[in-house]
Amino acid sequence: MAYIPDDISEIPDNHPSYIPTSDDERERLTILLHKRLDQIIDQEQQAGLSRHDRERLAAMPKQIRADLAEIRYGATKRTVREIERRYRPGR
């Protein structure tokens, strides 16, 4: 049976598939996500939003915060690309 550590800090990060993202890339994406979070908060304050739009907007901050946490705790390059795709302007 494979050894599964109790603490994530015990998992080595020298896996062949683990390619850490540079600090610049993580910082750029973090800024982008914070701006997107601000936009969503502003949109939620608009009068005349339908109930459906309000519920959709209410769910977005949770996902953005989860993505920010993933970046903060060492996202791989692949993960960063996926997050960037999710928040690409025009989506």
The pLDDT tens digits for 32-89 are 999 999 999 898 888 888 889 888 888 899 999 999 998 888 788 888 899 989 887 7
Q: pTM of the prediction?
A: 0.68
pLDDT attached to residue 65: 92
Find the helix packing angle between 77-86 and 23-44, rounded to 10°: 30
Nearest to 68 by CA among 25, 34, 19: 34
pLDDT attached to residue 56: 87
Nearest to 67 by CA among 86, 48, 89: 86
Q: What is the mean pLDDT of residues 11-37?
A: 76
